[in-house]
Amino acid sequence: MKQLKTILTFATLLLSLVFTPAWAISLSDAKSQGLVGEQLNGYLGEVKSSPKISALVKSINSKRRAAYAAKARKAGVDVNIMELRIGERLIQRAPAGQYIKSPDGQWKQK
């Protein structure tokens, strides 16, 4: 009986590891569902917060921060300048229906 319980526990753990990525939400899905949006500072923001969305935003923003720093070094400008330039472009390119954060700090659907 103890061996069966161990096998079932292991099988459950294994299945949870295999199927966990399927539960994760993609950036494009999060944007189209109005859960995240672009901000003027070049980073994603949470329109509707949840642990899953917070993890996604943190991950994407970390990658963006590294990319912005590399681009800023290459261009010889401060990283803040790069963040603002790219943020402006991301907001301009956001399709209709997605959320953007306006200068007054409010989320608005484009």
pTM for this entry: 0.76
| Dist. CA 24–CA 21, nearest whole Å | 5
Q: What is the pLDDT of residue 25?
A: 87
Low-confidence residues of the chain, pLDDT below 50?
10-11, 13-22
- Return the CA Rg of the chain: 19
Strand spans (E) along 13-106: 36-38, 44-46, 99-101
Block residue for tokens 């402006």? 88
Q: What is the pLDDT of residue 13?
A: 46
